[in-house]
Structure 1
Amino acid sequence: MLLKRFLKYTSLNVIGMIGVSCYILADTFFIAAGLGADGLAALNLAIPVYGLINSTALMIAIGAGTAFAVERAKRNQQKSNEIFTCGVLLALLFAAIYILAGLFFSEKIALLLGANQDILALTTTYLKTMLFFSPAFLMNQLLIAFIRNDKNPGLSMAGMLIGSFSNIILDYVFIFPLKMGMFGAAFATGLAPLISMAVMSQHFFKKQNTFQLLKTGRVLKRGLFVLLLGVSSFVTEIASSIVIVVFNFLILGLAGNTGVAAYGIIANLSLVVTSIFTGIAQGVQPLISSAYGKKEISDIKKSAAYALFMAFILALVSVFFVAVFREGIIALFNSEGNQKLASIASRGILLYFTAFPFAGINIVAVSIFNSVTKARAAFLLSLLRGMLVIIPLSFLLAGAFGLTGVWLAFPVTEVLTVLIAAALLLGILRGKIRY
């Protein structure tokens, strides 16, 4: 039954993605408790670099995973293995670039992101450590995607959750008993994907495993196709990092480091909510891609409708929860009891989170288009919501309404984008899918 399979794949993936989002949320909590507002501000300035690494990982993982699922449905083992090999090589290539950047340019990147002398050392330490662990982040996402598409979503969820819980425990141990400060927080986050991969490695010893590395001359050709399918995921994720950078600069001018710290709370909470939609999007992808490979149009339409409905309902629940409990949530990350920080975050979170009912639909829509290899439609939506609309709009609204305008830029962007997404989705839901 399709609905049963949909609920299995999406629920497992949502749980796993929420766990993964706790990477940074755990850092936020423990850094706020151990290092105060300066540590929180430094973390928020460094998050875009983590976002860049994660964006690259998702681009490779989603692109390769989608291509793998389509070829697997066609029972083309050779092409499936070529795609996996291509994904591994791409991950290693980008990892090498990020490690070199961490070794030689961490401080320059920190300055470019807006770190002043008060938080420069903290920001640089976090950046260098995260970039050093980039191979683990990239390979972990790749394995998650392939194991999920290889009909083992439970194991991919287990890997994500165990890695995330390990991160939370290690965060506490490294920051408090061992007094390792900002390096301890970053080190704990870097170890988490290694633990996750160790858990998932058992898949390679199971009979149901259908992918392996190959020696092939077609890697370059496959690589371009993988990147094309995954580029919308990259744009979606990297756009979030770019928006954080833009918002940080605007908020620095309007409310200083305290404002950036307040935004850090909001941005990190939004990562958790966004992970719900990402989980739905990644969970439904194997079902839609498999149906697309088998030309089962009815299953594509039903799976897409289920995913959109689930995203909208969970978005409403999330917004309600945050609105009701926002004061207590903010207090968890405000160990110094800073009243200005609490006031900015409390007002900002209400305005910012009104975007999520629309953002959820947009994120799932991008995945639907990717799953049926309609990369151009997915790329257009990602570009609109991630850069072309929100960046100029944030400057415009900040100039007109100050800090309130910054918070409103996100929901206004998502509302405008969802109108275009709805028009494009009608083609999918009406069955107009060209092969």
Structure 2
Amino acid sequence: MKQLDLKKDSTRKLFFRYLLPSISATLVTSIYILADSIMIGKGVGPEGIAALNIVLPLFTLFFGTGLLFGVGGSVLMSIANGSNDSLLGKQYFTTSVLSVTFISIFLLIIMQLGFKPILYFLGATDVTFTLASEYGRTLVAGAPVFMFSALLQAFIRNDKDPNLSMIGVITGGVTNIILDYIFIYIFHWGMFGGAIATVIGSSITCLILIVHFFKKTNQLKLVKNGFSMKRFSKVVTSGLASFLIEISNGIVTFLFNIQLVKYIGDIGITVYSIIANSSFIVMSLANGVAQASQPILAINFGAGERKRVDEVKHLGFITTTIIGSIIVALGALFPGVITGLFVHATDEILSLAIPAIRMYILAFLFMNLNIFISGYFQAVMKPQYAMGVNLLRGLILGSAFVLILPLFIGANGIWISMPIVETISFAVALALNYKMKKVI
């Protein structure tokens, strides 16, 4: 197969060449948790899926840390390669790998020692603690695997091997689904079965991704004296927006869980877990478009090809808008069907889930666009803009609205908070994009 030339081949050809592998990889990554949710919801019951949702912020922390160094380091590597400085690119790779190694060990130790108070802090109750603990302890044990899966996907995709990234993630995801069924329905391992299936699936993904390092085209090499605090700082700054997307989702999930227990009870967390898992799918599609664009954007930005950068941005924006519009329409038309995918939908669950989904689903159109624009800002070395948008979406407006709106309009304020947050954040993202165009 002809080697891709990211600086000369047609931008449309390159974008769609990267799009399917990127979306497939990010989509299947979300299936690791989605499959657990469906299998646990059907096999363990509503309490099981509620317990799973309590533990999800830990998964977002692990995967987000991998993205922090994966996306941050690989974007800088691509820009360095675009400027014909391959040694600097390898140094960014070395810095990223060593950083994830040490951080994964640190998090593993801290969370094993303080697991019980962490779980109660995340919203576990006497009803959900035992189930959440069964899943959570295994999930924490797999933290290094989740981090390296995210790290390697980003670097291998930016090293012009998007198909291997796709194959690795799809194989791991399919394995996870099969093992979920075996462990939960045949072995009756319950929450532990779902968690161990997720860890095994991610481990297989990592093993497949390692194949890239034995290819002749591989440019990802660890170099002596490759780590430096200066490069560490640059990688963190570059990748912080991707980390904030993941960690903000974890924080918002945590706040939703706390508010839903307060205003509705455990059934509220069950319904939100359905919405949160649907949101994982939507985010994975948006991240897929952003990640398909990033290698092309970064290397052309590094080469000074501004026209090609604008062409890729335009393609990504249109693609993301179409995807978001279709999803919003499906969610508004078939909320009962979506609910039935995850749990045995009782009248009590449906009476809460259907209006909740129809309110929350409005967030997905602008959420998709915010994720894409954030990825664009990262690729063209405006990480402060990407970080600002994601801080606004998650930690600032997301936290504020989910806490404040219910005081005035009750539980509906929880469901409607995110559409308002994403709309405001999109307006800010457009303003930053306009400002950047005027400067550049």
Name the TM-score, length of structure 2 as normaliser.
0.95
- The answer on whether the counterparts of 1:85 and 1:219 sit within 8 Å (CA) in structure 2 is no
Identity of aligned residues (%): 32
Match of 1:125 in 2: 134
List runs of 5+ in structure 1 lacking aligned partners.
none
- The answer on whether the counterparts of 2:321 and 2:368 sit within 8 Å (CA) in structure 1 is yes
| Equivalent residue in structure 2 for 1:371, among 349, 363, 379 | 379
- The answer on whether the counterparts of 1:83 and 1:219 sit within 8 Å (CA) in structure 2 is no
- The answer on whether the counterparts of 2:91 and 2:226 sit within 8 Å (CA) in structure 1 is no
Query: Structure 2: how far apart are the matches of 1:344 and 1:185?
Result: 26
**Are residues 1:297 and 2:306 paired?**
yes
List runs of 5+ in structure 2 lacking aligned partners.
1-9
**Are residues 1:13 and 2:22 paired?**
yes
Letter in 1 for 2:351: S
| Equivalent residue in structure 1 for 2:365, among 350, 357, 363 | 357
**Are residues 1:393 and 2:404 paired?**
no
Letter in 2 for 1:53: F
Match of 2:421 in 1: 413
- What RMSD over aligned residues (CA atoms) do the two structures have, in Å? 1.3
The C-alpha deviation readout for 1:34-61, integer Å capped at 9, x for no partner, is 1101111100111111111111111111
With over 3 angstroms needed to count, the CA separation of the structure-2 counterparts of 1:155 and 1:232, relative to structure 1, is same
Query: Structure 2: how far apart are the matches of 1:13 and 1:228?
Result: 23
**Are residues 1:426 and 2:434 paired?**
yes
Query: Structure 1: how far apart are the matches of 2:18 and 2:433?
Result: 22
Query: Structure 2: how far apart are the matches of 1:369 and 1:45?
Result: 32
Alignment of 1:35-54 (within 5 A): 35-54=44-63
| Equivalent residue in structure 2 for 1:23, among 32, 35, 38 | 32
What SS does the aligned partner of 2:204 have?
helix
Query: Structure 2: how far apart are the matches of 1:226 and 1:213?
Result: 16
Q: Bigger CA drift: 319-328 or 164-173? A: 319-328
**Are residues 1:68 and 2:109 paired?**
no
Shift of 1:322: 2.0
Shift of 1:383: 0.6
What SS does the aligned partner of 2:124 have?
coil
With over 3 angstroms needed to count, the CA separation of the structure-2 counterparts of 1:280 and 1:217, relative to structure 1, is closer
The C-alpha deviation readout for 1:386-431, integer Å capped at 9, x for no partner, is 1111211122211111121111110001111111111111245x47
Query: Structure 1: how far apart are the matches of 2:28 and 2:398?
Result: 28
The C-alpha deviation readout for 1:176-228, integer Å capped at 9, x for no partner, is 11111111101111111211122222211211101111220643221111011
Aligned length: 431
Match of 1:100 in 2: 109
What SS does the aligned partner of 2:41 have?
helix
| Equivalent residue in structure 2 for 1:221, among 204, 218, 230 | 230
**Are residues 1:155 and 2:158 paired?**
no
Alignment of 1:301-380 (within 5 A): 301-335=310-344, 337-380=345-388
Alignment of 1:268-283 (within 5 A): 268-283=277-292
Q: Bigger CA drift: 263-272 or 111-120? A: 111-120
Query: Structure 2: how far apart are the matches of 1:190 and 1:100?
Result: 17
Shift of 1:75: 2.2
Match of 2:390 in 1: 382
What SS does the aligned partner of 1:176 have?
helix
What SS does the aligned partner of 2:378 have?
helix
- The answer on whether the counterparts of 1:136 and 1:194 sit within 8 Å (CA) in structure 2 is yes
Shift of 1:432: 3.9
- The answer on whether the counterparts of 1:297 and 1:431 sit within 8 Å (CA) in structure 2 is no
What SS does the aligned partner of 2:42 have?
helix
Shift of 1:143: 1.0
